[in-house]
Structures are given as structure tokens and as C-alpha cells.
Structure 1
Amino acid sequence: MKNPSSKHLHKSITMKPFLTPLFLSLFLHIITVHVAGDTSPIYTPVEDITLQCGFSGDQLNPDDTRTWTGDINSKFSPFENQAAGSPSISRQAPSSSSVPYSTARLSRSEFTYRFLVATGQKFIRLYFNPASYGPDFDRSKALFSVKAGGFTLLKDFNSSVTADASESDIIYREFCLNVESEQSLNITFMPSRATADAYAFINGIEIVSMPNNLYYTSAQNSDGVNYIGSENTFRIENGTALEMVYRFNVGGRPLVFNQDTGMYRNWDGEQEEHKYLDDLSLKFSVLPQNSSIELNFTEIAKYSAPEELYRTGRSMGMNKTINKSYNLTWEFPVVPKFLYLLRLHFCEFVPDVTKYGDRRFLIFIANQTAEKAWDIIARSRGKGRPIYKDYVVFMPAGPASQKKVSLFLALQANPKDNMTNFNDAILNGLEIFKLSDTNRNLAGPNPDPPLLITPRVIAPPQSRKFKKRMQTKVWHASLGSMPPLLLKKFNNITTQS
């Protein structure tokens, strides 16, 4: 997920040429599996702070059914940098009436919000509506940095260019960080010094606590996370901050905030967001669904992802010949020179895949082998049991002028594996996070603004004599370096004509 308002393309994928009896059985058989009941509750966050900036009072957000509190004359009122002069102001947004994008706090000076929270790991979500808030706050002048808990989340962030590049009117960014023992979290907005009249603004701030070690490495986990391209493992410690860059319900519909497991995460619908799939994957892959098998959360916590995520997926199809000729591939633009955490969600629910070895496949991340024989049933120890697997990979820089590089995720039906019953691969969900660097920084460059297409101007018809005179002027303008003898001959020719 890049943005909650990203545009989706509604397409359907069919496999009519490959409707074999075995293929049909994957989708038409109704199998009921009786499993032990799971009584673990949906996660209830310790903190659930929703702040509408530039607003007075409380306002219900019908989309997530929560009440958002205004920062005017409340305990959440920001601290101003008095030495800088002018205080922040509140304004009504001209282009949105939805919470929290309908109002904003703006300032040409630094301002800070302080939140009293319990120690532990938190989601921080920032909401931006890059509009012009009157003639004194033009959208092109919104250029600022954001720091939280000692981390730089955004640096010289150009909100209008970012919104235009993503073809969206609104922006939101989600981060994860750990609050240490002081039990307070400061979020500071600082206008850039690089541009005259630059200002900072914010429409909404959300802070939601997360289960301990949901994305961080547990102290009890001695193995850590698979580090792609290295024999060592990697630990995501509390001194690291994360930025969510992509989150997909693979093969399924979008799952919005109140359809999550209590943490208000937003899952894009990969079934609709096809722009990250390569052409062959889009052409041949299929979308199996589980409508009958009860899920058994014995390997992971039930709050890890919504149940619906594990009831849909994208697989290669049932034609072994075709499956061995292509990889199921996604390509994600990411900022280079950062480490990235990839969490792959799996659940085996296809009726004919019942035992170890029925479906084994390879996983490649950033063109490197992550798994040589991934077997979901073997790893989850049964059918209908959701699991996920984490990987960390470093993305090196590309050409000097390249702001983004491509992070490839590919699943391959092993063409040399004759023991598996299905030369196929499947994925149910995907999350990708950027990890802070050694300077406690998460910020990347602003995107390039979208190319402006200049309308073609059709000149009025010109006389033959006028054209000839203009051509002669152009020719003479370029003859300054011509040898004198050749120049004399050219002048004689043009004079005679």
C-alpha cells in the first residue's frame, strides 16, 4: 500500500484454455476441515490516539468508526518555537471534508506535538492534504521535515510534488518505532530553510500501539530474520524505526482500516493493483479462493493479518508447461541504500494440495535466492494454517540520477523438481518496510514531478517567399565557423536564388 486513495484498475483474469478436471477441482470442490477452535482475541491497542490538527472539539470518522480529537485548546495543543516568531495557525481545507483531511495546522516556524504514552512499539501515521490554504500558504511552498522519537521520518518533504507524482489528492505515511522509558513521544514539524516562505503542515496524527515484536525481533528469537545475500541473520532491534512502503492482500480486495485485526492497518487489493505484476504473471496467474476451509491460527498470532487475507491468493495456474516457462513476479520501486523487511504471508487451502511435497517452489528476492524448496504445508505443519516468513535485503544504489530502484519478488515452479505434484507457487499477502539507517534516518528524496505535456501549437500557413527568407536567416546564423571560401560560395548561391 502506497496511499489510501491510490487508483485501482478493475480487471479479471481467466484461464479458459487450461480448464482441466484437476484445475476445476481446485475451485469447485467443497471440503470441510474440522480444526480446534482458536479463542485468541483480536488485538486491543493500549493507545489509540486520533488527532485532527487545526480542529476544535471531537469529530466522528465514519470510515474507521473512531472519534478524532481536535488539537485546538486541548491536551494535544502543539508546543511552538517562540524564538522563531509567528505561531502556527489552523485552517479549513478547501478540497476535502473527510476526517482528518478537512482541517490543518500550518506554520513557518517549528512546532511539536507531545504525546504521553506507555513504553513499547507503536504505529505512527501522518495524514497530509497538500492543498493551498489561502494565498499566504500556497501548496507549492509546503516543504518541511518531520522528526519523531529521535528519528528523521521525512526530510525536506515536498508534499505537493509527492501528491502529484502519485496522482492522489491526499497522502499518508505509516511508521513503526519503539518508545523508550521516558513514556513520551515528541513529533516535530520543521519548515525547510532551503526555500523562502516554506512552511510545515499536518492534517492528522494517529498513534496506535502494536503487539510486542509484531515486526521487531523478539529477544527469545535467537535465529533472527533471513538476510538475503548473506549467511548471517538480521535482528530488527528496538533502536530501529520502520516505514511501511507496501502492504497487499495478494489476489484479494482492499481491506481498509476497520477490517484489520485492531491496529487499523490498510491493505491494498493486489487483485486490482496490477501495476506491480509483470506481463506474463498478469496473463497466466489465477486467483484461488477459500470459501470452506476453517483457518487454524496455531503457528502465528491471529492478529498478524486479517483472516480474509489468508482466504485469497495468487498462484501460477495448473498448466505445468506454462508454469515452468515463467516466474510469478512483482516489481516494486524503492529508495536505494536502505535495508528492507519483506513479510510474505502464506496459507495452503487448495483442496488437492494436502501433504508435504505436493507444492514446492523457489522464492527470489532482489534477484537472489531466498528459498530453494518452499513448502507451505511443511512449514505450517498442516492445511489451512496461516504463516508468514520474514526476509531482510539491502538495496544498493543505481545510477547517480536514479531516485528509485526496483525490488523484485519472484516465485518459481522448480523445473527440475519432479517429485512435487504441483509445479506451482502461491502467495497470499505481502508487506514491505524500509528500515532506518545508522543515522536514524528514514527519509528519501522527493519524487520527480509528473511530466507536463506541452500542447502542440499549429502555426498559421506561411507564404513560400516568407519561408525561403526565414530559412536563409537560419542558415546564415549557423555559418559563423564556416571557412571563408566555402562561406563565399554559399552566399553566391543564395544571392542567385
Structure 2
Amino acid sequence: MEFPYRNFVFAVLLLSLCTISALSYTHFSPIDNYLIDCGSTGDSTVDNRRFVSDSSRSDSYSLTSTRSVLIRNEDPLDVSPRIYQTARVFTGPSRYEFEIRDKGTHMVRLHFHKLNSSKSDFGNAQFHVLVNGVVVLNDFIGGCVETPMVKEYLIWVETEKLVITFVPSRKYKFAFVNALEVISAPKDLILDTVQYLNSEKNKKSDGFVKQALEVVYRVNVGGPKVTPFNGTLWRTWVPDDEFLKSSSGWKRLYFSGRIRYQMGGASREVAPDNVYNSARVISSRNASIPNVNITWVFPVMGGFKYLVRLHFCDIASISLGLLYFNVYVNGHLAIEDLDLSDVTNYVLASPYYADFVVDGDGSGALSVSVGPSSKSYPYAIDGILNAVEIMKLNNSMGSLVGKVPADFIMKSWPRGNMGVLVPLVAAVCLLVILSMVLRRRMTGLKDSVTWSKLPMDVSNVNIKQGFPQA
């Protein structure tokens, strides 16, 4: 009887371990999760996600617009996903309001795709977009969006509402949107303290979590494109080939083993397995350490600060404690003698990421490099990078695109029905003036006196006597 009992205990333990493992792999389930198909009369499914029509009734979100129309794509050859086959067009300021239950950082995605429609000429699509008072798009020309485009932002929300406002640039222009996403982000996605790099010194900067961010680049180094279907948080990671500036001294690496996420470290929501299981590395093939860096260059807009997030995972070393290298961001030494074994509690294939904030200078470019350090070993890996994310921070004007604040944009558009109100007020004023003139003339006829020349000596004459009395 003892042997079956032992088997039973072993089975229970195995089941418990499998359950714990399954729970640790559970997909992130956001509290606020709005997926809106704009301009559609029915719901759509894209990447196993259900986008609901913005025409449907809901107590948790609403659309306020006095001038909007639904547009459907009339191009039979366009095979874009269903959310890009319709759009809602706005000819006046309009807004979507979302009820927020989970206060904190939210991912906001705006989907755009120019449609072929006889109802609207998308060459006239030029508009501004505000998210909770932050200017995220300014004079955006939607007529140039020939293929589907996603603009992604990370917005801190302390209120019970998140409001996305669309404002046409001029009266003869219009705004449009194909789809919207408003999703509460994991609490560890954005940290409150980051390292600020400049020419003087590196220092820690606090209060960062409440900044508005625009995702400019999300790059999978050495690996293929990662789509919302096979990634986490429904993000897209593009290959790094177009940004890579080093022509030699590196090799591409793929890893088929298990990525070992640890409590308190980088989670799958920070970056998925298929980002950490590829990399570019610098490898020493002989007794000498190669004198070479791997460098990536990204075009950016000057006048803004940028958050640069670098992802590392030692999928290359055959043993712990062999990988040391330096990390550079925008020419600044960001980390010297980085030892991934030390920062991952001496576990290989365990992910780690580091955040830095740098100034976008007048060059219009931001660079990232990794290379050997003074502690690097021969016959070992002397540099590695798995992924790069670059996000733009809002400026002092509360904008992610320029120096025009939200208040100026809203005040630049005529409020209410001013186009009708102004002529109406003018007509009323004209009627009042005519009425006063007629009244004065009628009164003058009753009380008038005979008109005559004024005497030459006017000192003793009351001049008012020669004029009609009101």
C-alpha cells in the first residue's frame, strides 16, 4: 500500500508545480481595457482581440461630437485588417471619454489609415489630438498615411476619466481615427526613478512616472518582427537592421532555451521571450579582445528629452561571470563594466533592463553602443544587446510635438455655434439702432422749432434751442 501512496503524493506535487508554473505564465489582464473600432457599425476581431464599434452604447465610454460621419473604405484591393476599413471623420472638435477604474499609467494607441472614399477627400485630413490635456499630435496630416499606422503613448491618469480630443487644424480640414486603445499598464512598466545622462554628470531623477511618453522606437535586436499577436501587451517590435551602423565585429545570436524571469526583475510584460531570445554580440575569437563597438543610430526630434530603455539577457555565455562590457547612450558612458551575472543574481538567460534619459540635441540623432570594457575576457563574449526602446518625454508646454499648448489649440477653434451667432447678434444690433433712429426722428417732429440762421453773436443765445430735443 505504501508504493501507490508515494505515487499519489508525487502526482499531487507535480500537479502543484505545474499549477504554480501556469500561474506564473498567466497573461496580463488589464483592469481598463478599451478597444474601439471607430466608424464601424459592428465589432471587429484583430489578433484575437475584439474591438467594439464606437456606435454601440456603453456606460463606461462615450463619444461627444456634433459633426462626425462614418466612412467606409471603397478600395476592394485593400486587405488591411478590419479596424482599418472604417473611420470616423470629425469636422469639428470632438472627444472620446473613457471611465478609468485603475489609476496610473495607461497605454493609449491611436490607429490611422487613409481610406479611399467618395464621401471625404483625405487630402484635407489635418488635425490635432489631445490626451488628457497633453498635445500628442499637432497639425497631423492624415492624408499621407498610406499604410496602417499606430501612434502609442503612455499617459499617467489620476482622474476618473481619460479624454481623447480631436480638433481639425482649420475649418476646411477634418480629423479622423480608425481605432483606439486605452489599456491600464502594469505597475512595473514605467519606473519613477531614472538615470539622467548629460555632459556634466550622470544623476538620478525622480518623479518620472507621471511624465507623458510617446513610444518612438521599439526594436528587437538581432531578431525578427514581433507582432501584437505573438508578443506581450499587444506591442510591435521591429527588426534593428535599418538602425545598425556597425558593419563588422558582431554576430547575430538565437537562443532556444527558456528565458528565466525572476521576481523583482524584468517581467514578460516589460519584454516577451521572443525579444530576449535573440541578440547581437561581440565575440572574442582569440587571445585578444576586439577593439570594436556595436552602434545603433535612431533619428529623433531635437528639443525633447528621451527615455532610452536597453534590454539585456545573457543567452551567449557558457558560464557565469565571463561577460563584462560598457554601455554608451548618445556618446555618454551609461554603464561601465556591466556584469549581467551580478545584476541577475547569477542566473544565465535571465533578463535585465536599464533606463536612461538623454537630451535630444540638434543633430537629430540618438545613438546606442555596447563594447568591451577593461574587465572583458578573451575567448568570451564581450558585448551584448537584446532590444532597445526609445520614448519621447513631454516638454514644459505639456506637448509631445512642439511648443503649442493644449489651451491655445482649443481656443483657436470657434466655440459653439459662433458662425451662426455672430451674424445674428449683428442683425439684432442693426435693428436696435434703426429703432432708436426712428424714435428720435418721430420725437423730433413733435417738438421741432423753425430752423433759422444762428445769430452772429451766440454768446446770449442757447444753442440747444436750435436742435430737436430727444
1:206 and 2:154 aligned: no
> Do the aligned partners of 1:127 and 1:205 also contact (CA within 8 Å) in 2?
yes
Superposed displacement of residue 117, structure 1: 1.9
Task: Find the counterpart in structure 2 of residue 291 from structure 1.
Answer: 256
* Structure 2 partner of 1:428: 386
Q: Could you list the per-position Cα deviations for residues 383-428 of structure 1 after superposition, in whole angstroms to 9, with x for gaps in the alignment?
A: 1211111111111234xxxxxx0101011123x5465653621111
Q: Which residue of 1 aligns with 2:453?
A: none
Matched residues in 1 for 2:239 and 2:376: separation?
A: 34
Aligned pair partner of 1:65 in 31, 48, 56: 48
| Amino acid across the alignment from 1:347 | C
Which one-letter code corresponds to 2:237 in the other structure? W
Residue from 310, 321, 327 that aligns with 1:363: 327
> In the alignment, which residue of structure 1 is the partner of 2:277?
311
Identical positions, percent: 27
Task: Work out the number of aligned pairs and report it.
Answer: 373
**CA 1:190–1:413 in 2, change beyond 3 Å: closer, same or farther?**
same
Whole-Å separation in 1 of the counterparts to 2:397 and 2:235: 27
Any gaps of 5 or more consecutive residues in structure 2?
1-19, 404-470
Q: Counterparts of 1:278 and 1:127 in 2: how far apart (Å)?
A: 31
User: Are residues 1:187 and 2:164 paired?
Assistant: yes
Point out where structure 1 has 5 or more consecutive residues left out of the alignment: 1-35, 218-223, 399-404, 446-497
- Partner of residue 124, structure 1: 108
Counterpart selection for 1:227 from 196, 215, 218: 196
Change (3 A) 1:322 1:335: farther
Q: Quick one: structure 1 residues 257 and 419, their matched pair in 2 at CA, closer, same or farther if it must change by over 3 Å?
A: closer
Structure 2 Cα separation of the partners of residues 364 and 309 of structure 1? 21
The partner residue of 1:334 within 297, 300, 309 is 300
Partner of 1:79: 64
* Aligned mates of 1:320, 1:201 — CA distance in 2: 59
Report deviation, 1:236.
4.8
Alpha-carbon distance in 2 for matches of 1:293, 1:170: 34
Q: 1:321 to 1:92 in 2, by over 3 A?
A: farther
Partners of 1:246 and 1:343 in 2: how far apart? 10
Residue 46 of structure 1: how far off its partner (Å): 0.9
User: What is the distance in 1 between the residues matched to 2:117 and 2:402?
Assistant: 26
CA drift of 1:303 comes to 2.5
Using a 3 Å threshold, how does the CA distance of structure 1 residues 74 and 350 change in structure 2: closer, same or farther?
Answer: same
What's the CA shift for 1:123?
0.4
Contact 1:323 1:423 in 2 (8 A): no
The within-5 A match list for 1:392-407 is 392-398=357-363, 405-407=364-366
Cα distance change of structure 1 residues 89 and 314 upon mapping to structure 2, 3 Å threshold: same
2-structure distance, mates of 1:441, 1:345: 28
- 3-state SS of paired residue (1:425): strand
Do the aligned residues in 1 keep the contact of 2:306 with 2:391 (CA within 8 Å)? yes
Distance 1:393 1:47 in 2: 31
From the superposition, tell whether residues 436 and 142 of structure 1 become closer, same or farther in structure 2 (CA, over 3 Å): same
Change (3 A) 1:197 1:407: same
Separation in structure 2 between the aligned mates of residue 71 and residue 417 of structure 1, nearest angstrom: 58
The answer on 1:144 being equivalent to 2:93 is: no
CA distance in 2, matches of 1:175, 1:199: 22
What's the CA shift string for 1:37-66, capped at 9, x where partnerless?
6853331111221111111122222xx111
1:173 corresponds to which of 128, 144, 151: 151
Superposed CA deviations along residues 65-122 of structure 1, whole A, max 9, x for unmatched, are 1111111243355212x5xxxx110110234452211101112211111111212211
Residues 410, 330 of structure 1: alpha-carbon distance in 2 compared, 3 angstrom cutoff: same
- Looking at structure 2, the residues matched to 322 and 109 of structure 1 have their Cα atoms a distance apart, in angstroms, of 66
Distance 1:296 1:38, change over 3 A: farther
| Residue identity opposite 2:129 in structure 1 | V
Classify 1:258/1:235 alpha carbon distance in 2 versus 1 (closer, same or farther; 3 Å): farther
Distance 2:379 2:342 in 1: 14
Of Structure 1 and Structure 2, the greater strand share is in 2
What are the Cα deviations for residues 158-177 of structure 1, in whole angstroms up to 9, with x where unaligned?
Answer: 1234x3xxxx5121100011
The alpha-carbon distance between structure 1 residues 294 and 343, as it changes in their structure 2 partners (threshold 3 A), is closer
| 1:351 CA drift (Å) | 4.3
Other structure's SS at 1:316 match: strand
1:336-351 → structure 2 map (5 Å cutoff): 336-351=302-317
Q: Is the 8 A contact 1:51 1:68 kept in 2?
A: yes
Query: What's the CA shift for 1:355?
Result: 2.4
Offset at 1:370? 0.7
TM-score between both structures, scaled by the size of structure 2: 0.74
Measure the CA separation in 1 of the matches of 2:94 and 2:376.
63
Go from structure 1 to structure 2 and tell me whether the alpha carbon gap of 1:321 and 1:203 turns closer, same or farther (over 3 Å shift).
farther
Report what 2:438 is aligned to: none
> Superposition RMSD on alpha carbons, in Å?
2.4
One-letter amino acid of the structure 2 residue matched with residue 411 of structure 1: V
- Distance in 2 separating the partners of 1:346 and 1:301: 13
- Give the corresponding residue for 2:234: 264
Once residues 259 and 115 of structure 2 are traced to their aligned partners in structure 1, the CA distance between those partners, rounded to angstroms, is 47
Structure of greater relative contact order (alpha carbons < 8 Å, 6+ residues apart): 1
User: Which residue identity lines up with residue 107 of structure 2 in the other structure?
Assistant: F
Please tell me whether Structure 1 or Structure 2 has the larger radius of gyration of its CA atoms. Answer: 2
* Aligned equivalent of 1:250, options 201, 214, 221: 221
Is the contact between residue 343 and residue 388 of structure 1 (CA under 8 Å) also seen in structure 2?
yes
Q: 2:369 aligns with which of 406, 410, 415?
A: 410
User: For 1:304, what is the secondary structure of its paired residue?
Assistant: coil
CA distance in 2, matches of 1:349, 1:295: 10
Q: Whole-Å Cα distance in 2 between the matches of residues 73 and 186 of structure 1?
A: 18
Counterpart CA distance in 1 for 2:48 and 2:298 is 32
Tell me how far apart the structure 1 counterparts of residues 287 and 34 of structure 2 sit (CA, whole Å). 53
